[in-house]
Amino acid sequence: MFLSPFSTFLREPALSLGVAFQITNILRDVGEDARKRGRVYLPQHDMERFGVTEQQIFEQKVDENYINLMKFEIARARMYYARALRGVPMLSAESRLPVQLSLDAYGKILDKIEENGYDSLTKRAYVGKWEKFAGIPASWYRTLDISKFLPLPGDDNLGKLEEYEKRLEEMLEKKWEEMSK
């Protein structure tokens, strides 16, 4: 395998992409993992912070606490996707499209969770084949240098790492204030 001079710079975006994918899988499969495997893979300290119990997950109860936990975890995943996005232009030209396609398709799973009212306990967030297929031209365009100067509509809001980090901090501060009362 040929490693470019940028290999050391690619490490953090590559690791971030792996973490983003893993978080997305966990969020998508919360209900299924609880029902079929008797397991909860959500971070325990986040569950405690947002007042969500394993019992609640096993009973498939979606309430405000669960929704806030999901919003937090989705923001965290998007932060990792934003970090990963920085690495795509560093890849060799032939490697950019598959990575960008994966990044875009997995990112849509988070959108589906939101569309499902953050209910990943009784509903499965799913991106269909045709929707993935329809996204190929946009993913391809995002791999081109010109997309940095002429972004697709809506892309100017994608990948703003600072926004996701700020949102996470605000959510944690709000939860801390609620717990302090």
- The per-residue pLDDT for range 158-178, each reduced to its tens digit, is 556 666 666 667 766 776 667
pTM check: above 0.85: no
C-alpha 65/C-alpha 62 separation (Å) is 8
pLDDT at 135: 87
Residue 123 has pLDDT above 60, yes or no: yes
CB 107 within 8 A of CB 118: no
Residue 8 has pLDDT above 90, yes or no: no
pLDDT at 1: 45
C-alpha 99/C-alpha 106 separation (Å) is 11
